[in-house]
Every structure is written in structure tokens, then in C-alpha cells.
Amino acid sequence: MSSTVEQADAQTPGKGHSVTITVNNKAVEITGPRVTGLQIKEAAIAQGVQIDLDFQLSQELSSGETRIVGDADVVTVNKNSVFTAVAGDDNS
């Protein structure tokens, strides 16, 4: 699994081949291999994953660690890439 994250720069993410990643245990097809955090959430929402754009996105690494992926961060994904997206839990 790739573990590189960069800030969006001259390279335009989202141009390449289709890859199926996992977001909240749901399969999400996205054009990779380089995508932004925002693109991952947009693709997941478009394919029925029940999250909002302002949820916190994290990549689950093979080491067992997680890494937060910001909206503008670029991550290289492949078929083994796993993400979680959760909201904070507001209480009255």
C-alpha cells in the first residue's frame, strides 16, 4: 500500500486509470493513482457512502497506523488502499 501523501502541486491528481479503493468498508471506484482527499470523499459520496465532505478522512496503513488525509493532500492509491471517514460527535 502506498504511504505517500503530498500537498497538491503541479501534478494534476485524478488523471490515470480506474482503481477500486475502500472507504468505510465500501468499495469506491476512483481515477488514480494520485488523488486528493477531497476527491476520495466526493467519489465516495457519489457512490453512496454515507459521509459528508467535512468528515475527517484517514488512510489505514498496513502498519496498523492511520494517517489523516486533508482535502488538499494528494495520496497515491491502489486496490489495497483503505480509508475511513468519520465526523466528530456533537452533543448538546
Partner 1 sequence: MAPQPMTDPWTLRMPAAMATTLRQHLFPGDGDEHGAVIGASVVATARGTRLLARRLYLAEDGVDYVPGQRGYRMLTATFVRDRVRDCRSQGLAYLAVHCHGGTTHVGFSGTDLASHERGYPALRDILGSTPAGGLVFATDAVAGDLWLPDGGRAELERAVITGWPIKTLYPEPPPPPTSDPTYDRQSRVFGDRGQAILAAQKVAVVGAGGAGSLIVEYLARLGVGELVIIDPDRVEETNLPRLAGARACDARTWLTDPARPGWLQSLGHRYATPKVRVARRVARQANGRIHVHALRADVTQSTIAANLVDCDYLFLAADSMQARLVVNALIHQYLIPGVQVGAKVQVGPGGVVTDVFSVVRPLAPGFGCLWCNGLISPARLQDEALTAEQLRQQRYVQDEAVHAPSVISLNAVASAHAVDDYLHTVTGLLPTGYEPRWRRFHPLVPTGPQRVRCDIPRAAADCTECSETGRLGQGHNAPLPTK
**51 φψ region: left (φ > 0), alpha (ψ -120 to 50), beta (else):** beta
Burial degree of 42 (CB within 10 A; 0-12, 13-18, 19+): middle
Least distance to partner 1 from the beta carbon of 38, Å? 16
What is the maximum alpha-carbon separation in the chain?
45
Binding residue count for partner 1, defined by CB under 8 A: 22
25 binds partner 1 (CB under 8 A): yes
63 binds partner 1 (CB under 8 A): no
51 binds partner 1 (CB under 8 A): yes
- Point out which residues bind partner 1 (CB under 8 A): 24-26, 49-52, 55-56, 58, 60, 66, 68, 84-92
